[in-house]
Amino acid sequence: MTPGWPYSIVAALKNGSTARTALLDAVRLEPGAAVPAVAAVQLRQVVERLPAAGHTTSKDSTS
């Protein structure tokens, strides 16, 4: 990351009483970027990558 450049960041909060977070993704925003559109695409991509990385919940289907 470069100081002074705008980024869109996706972070996860840990369960429980801790204030820890996990940085999942960071994308540098180009000048004039449509920030909501960039964030939507970024979030979709992160959600799609989570199962491949082994991050699932007990509510996820295994079939």
Q: What pLDDT score does 30 carry? A: 93
Q: What pLDDT score does 31 carry? A: 92
Q: How would DSSP label each residue in 1-63? A: --TTS-EEEEEEEPSSS---EEEEEEEEPPTT--HHHHHHHHHHHHHHHHHHTT---TTS---
pTM equals 0.71
Q: What pLDDT score does 61 carry? A: 53
Q: What pLDDT score does 63 carry? A: 45
Mean pLDDT by runs of 10 across the 63 residues of the chain is 86 81 92 95 93 71 50
